[in-house]
Amino acid sequence: MPEITYRDAVIRGIAQEMARDNDVVFLGEDVAKAGGVFKATVGLYEQFGPLRVRDTPISEQAILGAAMGAAMTGLKPIAEIMFSDFFAVCFDYIANEFPKSRYMSNGQTKCPLVVRTGNGAGSRFGAQHSQSVENWCMMIPGLKVVAPSSPVDVIGLLAAAVRDPDPVIFLEHKSLYATKGEVPDGEIVDRLGTAKIVRPGRDATILALALMVPRAVEAAERLKAEHGIDCEVIDVRSLVPLDTQTILASVAKTHRLFTVEENPRLCGWGAEIVSIVADEAFYDLDGPPVRITTPHIPLPAADILEDMVLPTAERIVETVRRSLQS
């Protein structure tokens, strides 16, 4: 099975859906001839032409306003917001406009669009270009929110997002663009609202998202080799809809829960999952759920400081070991 990069998977995923459906259009800043600031849209302009792959002004509000209008009139736009931090500039559309259009029109209008964006830290871009904003999005009724960690999931979940009748926020982790993974030939279509068990285990459940998934897997392998602790690692993948069945079944098997979250600790996605587990699986737990997070601080640009505040494999190993052996 061939390997491709996460970046090339974005290109392949968009191309797959544009080739399949002429109603799919793509717009954003420097996404056409320039191939995107992260080079994740190279070749799309040449393949699909200027009518379907369009550069926009430097205006996040204009990008999402145009995408919403296109979606409401029959197209299926994919809109790129370069950095997820810039959601703050166009948050009215994200929070008030396209998530509520179908509800407020009593189903008379639909808004089938995807907002792609570069999310997360690790690239030394500083406090205004490195945030993980998945918790901003998952609190809004009417939005679906996904964050793939591997190339094959990029393609499959992007296809599912484009084909979904509701607006989907598609969070691509900037620090994963250069990573590689095996991807089969042919069309790939996944399903929103499904988590994936990436490493089976029996002693503890570790939930992770995006960049934290490979770190959680590395930690699990070290815990097994060095301490005899066998951890099950689940890639949450989809925050809305959330695959509670997979999560609860894993907790019922392992009896311990750890979340690994890049977002700031306050109001992170792991807190919501912990509350669900406390409500629905309290008596399956042999100890309190533990959240491993970034502190509630602006992210520093200095490499040593950014590395220090993000969850690492070492911190995951030590936290799980200490919790299970205490």
Q: Are 25 and 107 part of one and the same domain?
A: yes
pLDDT one-digit tens code per residue, 174-233: 999 999 999 999 999 999 999 999 999 999 999 999 999 999 999 999 999 999 999 999
Q: What is the pLDDT of residue 251?
A: 98
In a domain, 189, yes or no: no
In a domain, 157, yes or no: yes
Q: What is the pLDDT of residue 299?
A: 95
Contact 117, 145 (CB under 8 A): no
Written as one string, the DSSP assignment of 59-124 is -HHHHHHHHHHHHHTT-EEEEEEEEGGGGGTTHHIIIIITTTHHHHTTTS-----EEEEEE-SSS-
Written as one string, the DSSP assignment of 249-277 is HHHHHH--EEEEEEEESTT-HHHHHHHHH
Question: Active-site residue among 17, 80, 97, 129?
Answer: 129
60 catalytic per annotation:
yes
Domain enclosing residue 228, as ranges: 196-325
Q: Are 17 and 146 part of one and the same domain?
A: yes
In a domain, 316, yes or no: yes
Q: Are 113 and 210 part of one and the same domain?
A: no
Q: What is the pLDDT of residue 139?
A: 95
Q: Are 90 and 217 part of one and the same domain?
A: no
Number of domains observed in the structure of the chain: 2
* Cβ atoms within 10 Å of 286's Cβ, excluding its own: 11
Q: Are 169 and 231 part of one and the same domain?
A: no
Nearest 10 degrees: Cα torsion 307, 309, 310, 312: 70
Distance between CA 67 and CA 42 in Å, rounded?
A: 21
In the structure encoding, which two tokens stand for residue 177, read together?
């663009």
Q: In which region does residue 91 sit, left (phi positive, over 0), alpha (psi from -120 to 50) or beta (all else)? A: alpha
* Cβ atoms within 10 Å of 221's Cβ, excluding its own: 15
pLDDT one-digit tens code per residue, 256-314: 999 999 999 999 999 999 999 999 999 999 999 999 999 999 999 999 999 999 999 99
Asked if pLDDT for residue 237 goes beyond 80, the answer is yes
Q: Are 175 and 201 part of one and the same domain?
A: no
> What type of residue sits at position 180?
K
CATH number at residue 51: 3.40.50.970
| Whole-Å CA distances, 36 to 13, 32, 45, 139 | 15, 7, 11, 29
- Domain boundary pick from 157, 182, 207: 182
Q: Are 147 and 209 part of one and the same domain?
A: no
In the structure encoding, which two tokens stand for residue 144, read together?
């679906």
> When comparing pLDDT for 322 and 1, which is higher?
322
In a domain, 173, yes or no: yes
pLDDT one-digit tens code per residue, 2-49: 999 999 999 999 999 999 999 999 999 999 999 999 999 999 999 999
Model pTM?
0.97
pLDDT category of residue 326 using cuts at 50, 70 and 90: confident
In a domain, 86, yes or no: yes
Q: Are 217 and 77 part of one and the same domain?
A: no
In a domain, 190, yes or no: no
Q: Are 94 and 121 part of one and the same domain?
A: yes
Residue that is written with structure tokens 């792959």 in the block: 53
Asked if pLDDT for residue 1 goes beyond 90, the answer is no
Question: Active-site residue among 60, 80, 172, 262?
Answer: 60
In a domain, 8, yes or no: yes
CATH number at residue 248: 3.40.50.920
Q: Are 171 and 222 part of one and the same domain?
A: no
Q: Are 89 and 136 part of one and the same domain?
A: yes
- Domain boundary pick from 139, 159, 182: 182
Burial 77-91 (b: 16+ CB within 10 A, else e): bbbbbbbbbbbeebb
Q: Are 168 and 83 part of one and the same domain?
A: yes
80 catalytic per annotation:
no
